[in-house]
Amino acid sequence: MINSKNEMKNLISKMTLEEKIAQMYQLYGGVYDFPEEEGSIPVTGPAEEWEFEEQLLFKIGSVLNVNRAQKARKIQKKYLENNRHEIPLMFMYDIIHGYKTIFPIPLGSACSWDMELIEESARVAAREGSVSGINVTFSPMADLVRDARWGRVMESPGEDPLINEKMAAALVKGYQGTDLKKDDTVAACVKHFAAYGAVEAGREYNTVDLSDYRLNNYYLSGYKAGIDAGARMIMTAFNTLNGVPATGNQYLIQDILREKWDFFGPVISDYGSVSELIAHGYAKNGKEAAQKAVQAGVDIEMVTPEYIKHLADLVTEEVIAEKKIDTAVERILNLKYDLGLFSDPFRYINESGEEKYHLCSTHRKKARQLAAESMVLLENDGVLPLKENLEEVTLLGPFADSGKMLGNWSGEGDADDTVTAKEGLVNELPDETELNVYSQIENISQGKFLDIIETVKKSAATILAVGEPQSWSGEARSRTRLTLPEPQEKFIKKLVNVLKEEEEELNLVLVLFNGRPLELEWYSENIPAILEAWYPGTEGGHAVADILLGQVNPSGKLTISFPYSVGQMPLYYNRYSTGRPPMDQEVEKKNCSRYLDVPNHALYPFGYGLSYTEFEYHNINLEKNKITAGETNQLNFALKNSGQYKGQEVVQLYIKDCYANRVRPILELKGYQKISLAPGEKKNISFEITEEMLIYFDENGQNVIEPGAFEIYLGSSSKDLRECGILEYQI
């Protein structure tokens, strides 16, 4: 029994080199395939391929993807009976946006701009995961993403560093709570370090090549925010960064993570990324891959066998100092101690807790709330909210009555437990409203199409529930076309064209279920109402009904830009200007930085989202025009709900550095507040403008703040802005 961290070094001194190296290895949980009768454990999966010795099962430090309390208990018990030092096993899992109760994908949740609610979603996930035996979750993903072609954009908060920082911190606090030793917590692992979201052409596992200036100003702050919030582990990325794979990158792990940020927890490779150093051409064989990963500072190898096969020889040959192994093992054991596993190896495992917490009504209520707040109203020409006492409503599309709206990385979520759009509407529509449902719209016969047309004509409203199949978003799901599936696209255009030809009223609502921004220019011009629902999770159908029927006023704002065309990728609002920026629209465009066929800007920009009500900004006042070092400034204004519905407005503060010794973005989000107002209500609001909002990082990652002029803007998106004045900063 280890009673304090001071005893850890003594424990390590009693361990053999083989035992220490085994603690640095993570194996897939499926290897522990216990037979019902007593006896040996069959070795299966990847371990079988490299002649894995059965006895090593009782020495390794952690396992991946054991997802039920009963199995976790069985494995831990057998492990402890066979481990010479009674060191507990650690269980890890990808809890990304829920464990059993699934919340919206992270990109969707970010669009709520409600970090308290996002933190609560992580608390729910931690509670559900911990009773099933999970100790560590591989979340949050703090990869900044500007290219919607990348499938894992669905796991990201989007394109803005501030939102990335806030969300990473919120998720860490939610998972870990205030005391990691409490039973309903899990340790957070920030990933993927670093800059994985910047892969070239949005292609999975691809190259990343960034200047240190851009890396420091955009891509690193999300990871650091997670670490500053207390995250206990960090995961390396699959990509190279400036020619060096992240899993063998001493600059990232030693210089930045360990020395500059003083991170003390273990670093884990991503799945197989140590062996992948060979495929990168960075290591000639497995032995060199193990050497380079350990020298870079990777404490745990996930799944591939290079540490187990080669570290002992590398220590014997004095290529790797045994002290380096000891340091890595101490980090791993300290995490187990902080998780309370040395005092009670079974404390996370609670079979009755699974019955109590998984999909409980309290958790479902939170999932429904976050799903509704994540949805973004992109277009509304008076169709929404749907009017009361509708006689007939038609629901069309593959997502009309499907629970497959959880999205990728949805833990132990099940489509059968998910509220579909049909179920949500049936539960919320008045009993007298007739709901017609056509789930199959792709590749249908002409006769079936004509039946649908007749039903649509007599309906007061028609809802098109369409989007990407779940398999189109997530890891290894890169796309070169950001369109709806072709059969869906053909059906919708045919439907709209027939209704227009017959001069029928277009009471159409497009509800999108997807994991990335899509090209929607045609739909924006031809469909009167568009709701971006993302993959909304377990309570998605109820949340959709809440929005469509006006029980919840949409308040979501995009945290990633929607393009006119995939050819604009990568697309982001906080870009640099050029020496030849586009001229005024009235002036002939010659020899400036532009496209010939689409605008430079987004179709739906960062921060954009409509409401059923309207908000007015009044009495905008910047208290001071000048500040000096150490001073702050105040921006005051009044916000009024001038519409007929109670609503929430995400008020956004942007700053532009007018000139500097480095080219600065044309605009940067520096603050935001989510304000709730009743119809006719008016509130006085203020932002404090600090020196921290005026700094940037140089290529060495050092803070830079220069005297100069800063334009201050206030608004409801990165395009809908009000000029607040110019602030002069003096040193």
213 within 8 A of 661, measured Cβ to Cβ = no
Beta-bridge partners for 684: 638
Q: Cα(133)–Cα(128) distance, rounded to whole angstroms? A: 9
Question: Considering Cα of 424, then 427, then 428, then 430, what sign does the dihedral take?
Answer: positive
62 within 8 A of 105, measured Cβ to Cβ = no
Question: Any residues with CB less than 8 A from the CB of 281 and at least 6 apart, and which?
Answer: none
Question: Considering Cα of 187, then 193, then 197, then 200, what sign does the dihedral take?
Answer: negative
400 within 8 A of 359, measured Cβ to Cβ = no
Task: Report CA-CA distances (Å) from 85 to 73, 332, 610.
Answer: 18, 15, 60
Largest CA distance in the chain: 84
31 within 8 A of 59, measured Cβ to Cβ = no
Whether 179 is a known active-site residue: answer: no
Start-to-end Cα distance in the chain: 57
Q: Cα(148)–Cα(152) distance, rounded to whole angstroms? A: 9
Active-site option among 94, 114, 143, 270: 270
Nearest to 649 by CA among 720, 713, 601, 711: 720
Where do we find the tokens 């020395």?
259
Q: How would DSSP label each residue in 619-683?
A: EEEES-SEEETT--EEEEEEEEE-SSS-EEEEEEEEEEE-S-SS--BS-EEEEEEEEEE-TT-EE
28 φ, ψ (degrees, to nearest 5): -65, 130
Question: Any residues with CB less than 8 A from the CB of 444 and at least 6 apart, and which?
Answer: 452, 491
The DSSP H or E segment spanning 396 is strand 392-396
561 within 8 A of 117, measured Cβ to Cβ = no
Where do we find the tokens 């361990």?
15
Task: Report CA-CA distances (Å) from 34 to 75, 79, 354, 455.
Answer: 8, 12, 22, 56
Q: Cα(113)–Cα(373) distance, rounded to whole angstroms? A: 9
Q: Is 99 in a helix, a strand, or coil?
A: coil
Angle at 451 between CA 448 and CA 457, to 5 degrees: 140
78 within 8 A of 390, measured Cβ to Cβ = no
296 within 8 A of 247, measured Cβ to Cβ = yes
Task: Report CA-CA distances (Å) from 23 to 8, 139, 214, 620.
Answer: 13, 22, 37, 59
Angle, in degrees to the nearest 10, between helices 486-501 and 446-458: 60
Question: What Rg value do the Cα atoms of the chain yield, rounded?
Answer: 27
Burial 491-520 (b: 16+ CB within 10 A, else e): bbeebbebbeeeeeebbbbbbbbbbbbbbb
Nearest to 336 by CA among 374, 300, 295: 300
Nearest to 282 by CA among 252, 244, 310: 244
Q: Cα(303)–Cα(30) distance, rounded to whole angstroms? A: 11
Nearest to 413 by CA among 101, 639, 49: 101
DSSP 419: P
Residues with a known catalytic role: 270
